[in-house]
Chain A
């Protein structure tokens, strides 16, 4: 039952940030698409290589003497023509087997010299049965003229480049000089029946195809290299092989091997491509793990409060983790499905187009049409790896969120969301303290206080509760570096007071009080504007340190953390509009992260100087204090008369005197 709830929550959470979910799905989809396209290309390459090998004369299965396959001197390990023909007959007699076979031929490779009387060149010949050759070489048809024929025992097919080199045309005659098996020389005259074009220029210059019987006669040999068997379907190779193995077992010293065991080139390319695919897949998956991990990290950061809420009401970490895992699975399954659908569609379209024309590979004379062979096996593997990697990606962010204290999760997010909602995912965050210092310096210069100079200031505090003026006080303050004194001078009814801040602490003396009272900075934290705040509103960088700077749509947010015992607040947050060059907001937080008041700077004219502050109690917004900077004057010496209207007792006067 709970899982119904879980999946619903996961689904709703994904819909909460559709843009982010879309980007994550897209990144997984692209990874899967890329992997499957590469897989399809590889499969096509393997298919091309296998078909090219088995349908270009070599056959799908080769039967030869056991040692012939791996011998470095295969000419010494050739099989008997008689035995190989017996095997061929056995195969043909097996009706079921012969139905799967497209054609068979004995094959014999040899070399020699071909000449026309005017010129000559070497050749590498293949002796094959004319009938079987048609089936075996369906991928390398004769391009000009005819193939070798039973009726034309001395008719041969040669490479086009060889014909050009020897200036031979169809129907011309040439002489072949060969060495017989017993080492004597023999020569035969042949006529040119056809010309071959092949992908390899080198092969085209030396290739010659001759009927097996003629080759046997000219070589005076009773030996053949192997019996090549071509199948209707390459996929039947293993099935046919097992039956042929059974037949061949009657002939001692002979064996059958499938094309993939004898095609060295295929094996080399496959091994190389398989490794490339693993590397490719690993890189893609690493990228998708990082992208996913980053997305999740953002999502978890943004939902710290949700995690905090769930944990505060007693839900175990494991359940919360499974919530994120569900979300990850949903995203990765959708992403993988979309990627696979696109890959299959692209493969299908390319197939319908007949492939993408590709230029000739190095060393080849002809290009080819590229297709993508994406099978369900590949789709399954890639999707599975994408989904598993996504699950892996969520481990670190979930663990990190799980380790965070509940209270930190709740408070951090309250703080975080307050500033960034609803654009948290798009904002850029940095802890560029250097840049932050510049911004802070600009903000400080917008207050009407002289920089690095002693000054006298008059500030009015107008306290409004529920829209009604409650109290109006004018303070006079004097500021000398870190020493600041303020005295209430114009509050005839209320209780006047003096506030003194020195490096040794903060004192407050109320009218009528006998002694000045030393107070802790935290004790001054009230929802109203604090006198201490406006003695010198500039953020001095002494009690507060810049911890973070964020920028979004021209609004720079500076986080200042209280670092000295004289810091009144846990954190202060400044929101500065860099386009208008104006401070927009000041947020004051307690040490536990709770927001207690909000300052809104008042700009009355265009001089970019702040004329006052509207301070709103964050807990009771009907309690507001309007602070107006009435006047500021740079001073050389402190005039005694400045505080004359403040009724201060002797000990306060003493503190002031000592301070000044």
Chain B
């Protein structure tokens, strides 16, 4: 597993001025495990995560995944790539409110395999893994924040991705729930040998990480 990027630049337009969120950064991630991106708000953590996860495009720079250049793929190719190789966990969970817990988890698998039975079986086992099996028929709005984030994690895992991108996954959770979610997340990552890139303010997340990358003003400050 190898994810690398070179000279990644991304700017946002502020009126008639341009604000550089990523200032030509480069690095390589090559081992499975938890990698934390830390830094103050506005330092470019989320922007980097979005660019690497192909849900946003960098203005300049190259991204390689397992030796293949992925930043220049067409929109549909990027979608297929995200479906097969990437998983996403967001701060605000981003689950589909009209669907039940199991439907939310199964959705990417149903779309990938077109096999409803098999997808539901996979979703079922993941919900068991995250401790939500008894909630599988509930609607999302009937769950607590921690439970929603577990559903989001299960959804991110359902297609057995190689990398999970998590943007402030514990930001909306209290410290106890946050710990529980992180425990479960860390176990799964180790078990399945997945790489997880997490942007966070939370020191508790950083403490668990295999690597910590600090960012400031759109630049990589250092890697531990």
Minimum Cβ distance to chain A for residue B168 (Å): 7
Contact residues in A for B40 (Cβ distance below 8 Å): 523, 525-526
- Identify the closest chain B residue to A565 (Cβ): B17
- B19 and A407 within 8 A (CB): no
- Residue-wise, chain B 80-109 has the 8 Å CB interface mask toward A (1 for contact) of 111110111011101111110001000110
- A410 and B55 within 8 A (CB): yes
- B79 and A314 within 8 A (CB): yes
- B94 and A309 within 8 A (CB): yes
Q: Given A407-B55, A564-B15, A596-B41, are A313 and B116 neighbors across the interface (CB < 8 Å)?
A: no
- B42 and A523 within 8 A (CB): yes
- Identify the closest chain B residue to A418 (Cβ): B92
- The residue that B12 contacts in the complex, of A12, A526, A592, with Cβ under 8 A, is A592
Contact residues in A for B84 (Cβ distance below 8 Å): 314
- A313 and B88 within 8 A (CB): yes
Q: Given A312-B82, A619-B171, are A591 and B55 neighbors across the interface (CB < 8 Å)?
A: no
Is B50 an interface residue, CB under 8 A from the partner? yes
Is A4 an interface residue, CB under 8 A from the partner? yes
Is A561 an interface residue, CB under 8 A from the partner? yes
Is A194 an interface residue, CB under 8 A from the partner? no
Is B56 an interface residue, CB under 8 A from the partner? yes
- A312 and B55 within 8 A (CB): yes
Minimum Cβ distance to chain B for residue A173 (Å): 88
Is B201 an interface residue, CB under 8 A from the partner? yes
Within 8 A of B (CB), among A271-330: 305-306, 308-317, 319
Minimum Cβ distance to chain A for residue B87 (Å): 8
- Identify the closest chain A residue to B165 (Cβ): A312
Cα distance A545–B17 in the bound complex, in angstroms: 13
- Residue-wise, chain B 57-73 has the 8 Å CB interface mask toward A (1 for contact) of 10000000000000000
Is B110 an interface residue, CB under 8 A from the partner? yes
Is B187 an interface residue, CB under 8 A from the partner? no
The number of residue pairs between A and B whose CB atoms lie closer than 8 Å in the complex comes to: 133
Interface range, B side: 35 or more
Contact residues in B for A15 (Cβ distance below 8 Å): 98
Within 8 A of A (CB), among B1-52: 12, 14-17, 19, 21, 40-42, 46-47, 50
- A309 and B96 within 8 A (CB): yes
- A5 and B96 within 8 A (CB): no
- B116 and A5 within 8 A (CB): yes
- A312 and B21 within 8 A (CB): no
- B108 and A313 within 8 A (CB): yes
Contact residues in A for B216 (Cβ distance below 8 Å): 523
Minimum Cβ distance to chain B for residue A8 (Å): 8
Q: Given A312-B55, A314-B79, are A12 and B94 neighbors across the interface (CB < 8 Å)?
A: no
- B46 and A591 within 8 A (CB): no
Is A405 an interface residue, CB under 8 A from the partner? yes
- A563 and B41 within 8 A (CB): no
Within 8 A of B (CB), among A595-621: 596, 619-620
Minimum Cβ distance to chain A for residue B19 (Å): 6
Contact residues in A for B56 (Cβ distance below 8 Å): 405-407
Q: Given A5-B116, A410-B90, are A16 and B217 neighbors across the interface (CB < 8 Å)?
A: no
- B41 and A594 within 8 A (CB): yes
- B15 and A563 within 8 A (CB): yes
Contact residues in B for A522 (Cβ distance below 8 Å): 19, 42, 217
Minimum Cβ distance to chain B for residue A338 (Å): 23
Is A1 an interface residue, CB under 8 A from the partner? yes
Contact residues in B for A526 (Cβ distance below 8 Å): 40-41
Contact residues in A for B150 (Cβ distance below 8 Å): none
- B114 and A1 within 8 A (CB): yes
- A520 and B111 within 8 A (CB): no
Contact residues in B for A596 (Cβ distance below 8 Å): 41
- A315 and B95 within 8 A (CB): no
- A311 and B98 within 8 A (CB): no
Is A2 an interface residue, CB under 8 A from the partner? yes
Is A388 an interface residue, CB under 8 A from the partner? no
- The residue that A523 contacts in the complex, of B16, B88, B217, with Cβ under 8 A, is B217
Cα distance A292–B52 in the bound complex, in angstroms: 38
- B97 and A16 within 8 A (CB): yes
- The residue that B108 contacts in the complex, of A314, A527, A545, A564, with Cβ under 8 A, is A314
Contact residues in B for A16 (Cβ distance below 8 Å): 97-98
Is B75 an interface residue, CB under 8 A from the partner? yes
- A308 and B217 within 8 A (CB): no
Within 8 A of B (CB), among A422-478: none
- A2 and B94 within 8 A (CB): no
- The residue that A9 contacts in the complex, of B91, B95, B98, with Cβ under 8 A, is B98
Cα distance A310–B8 in the bound complex, in angstroms: 26
Across chains A and B, which 10 residue pairs bring their CB atoms closest together, nearest first? A314-B83, A563-B15, A12-B98, A314-B82, A522-B42, A407-B56, A406-B55, A1-B116, A525-B41, A619-B171
- A13-B98, A15-B98, A526-B41 known, 16 other contacts, Cβ within 8 Å: A1-B115, A2-B114, A4-B116, A305-B94, A312-B94, A313-B87, A313-B88, A314-B79, A317-B76, A410-B90, A414-B92, A522-B42, A526-B40, A591-B19, A594-B41, A596-B41
Residues of B within 8 A of A (CB): 12, 14-17, 19, 21, 40-42, 46-47, 50, 53, 55-57, 75-76, 79-84, 86-88, 90-92, 94-99, 103, 107-108, 110-112, 114-116, 155, 159, 168, 171, 201, 216-217
Q: List 13 A-B contacts (CB under 8 A).
A: A2-B116, A12-B99, A15-B98, A16-B97, A16-B98, A315-B108, A315-B111, A563-B16, A564-B17, A594-B91, A596-B41, A619-B168, A620-B201
